Amino acid sequence: MKKITATREQLRIAGIILMSVVAVLYFIFIFLPLFKKAADYSRKEKELRDRLKMVEELDADKQALGKEIEVIKQRLDFYEKKLPRKVNIPEILEELVSIGKASSVNFASIEPQKIEEIKVGEAGVKKYLEIPIKLKLKAGYHEFGRFVNRIENFQRFMKVNSIKITPDVSNEKRNDISLVVSAFALGDVVTDEE
């Protein structure tokens, strides 16, 4: 009986050892690879989430940059109108006459002067043109003030300088005014042939 009990005990121990070996082999060959795959999938998921977050941030940056580019384009359009690439002297003269009429200013004479090329930047690589126009006017102070205001707020860059005002002896409310109005452009002069 002791032998049967010892054999049973041995069989029980052998069964426990066999079950342990099977459990270890199951753990090593089945569970551990699955655990590694799950860890890999978890790592890949984290990488993909990080990439997705980065793409979303880039998309937000792209949209913000798109808005900034649109604002810059609008500014460029604004400044291209103010500083055109070509000089059209007849057009500038028409603009001045129109401003004068709107301001109730009478023109005695309009004399375009020599166009000056002004170089700027390092080594004078960039240039712009200054187109001075000498004007002689008859106007009251208020009309002349409106005229200068409209010139300086015009859609094109213009400046007023060399102002000389002398009273008109024949009319107290009018003055003889001489001044130089300069318009600006980036490039070439448009001739009548163009």
In whole angstroms, give the CA distance from residue 35 to residue 46: 16
Residue located via tokens 């009018």: 174
Q: Mean pLDDT in each 10-residue stretch from start to end of the chain (194 residues)? A: 76 88 85 87 92 90 89 82 77 90 91 85 74 92 92 86 87 87 76 46
At residue 148's C-alpha, the angle toward residues 145 and 150, to 5°, is 105
Q: In the structure encoding, which two tokens stand for residue 88, read together?
A: 């059209």
In which residue are the tokens 């580019």 written? 69
**Residues belonging to the chain:** 194
- pLDDT recorded at residue 189: 58
Q: Are strands 86-87 and 188-189 parallel, antiparallel or unpaired?
A: parallel
DSSP classification of residue 31: I
- Rounded CA-CA distance 30/24 in Å is 10
Q: Quick one: which of 79, 114, 82, 97 has its CA closest to 189?
A: 114
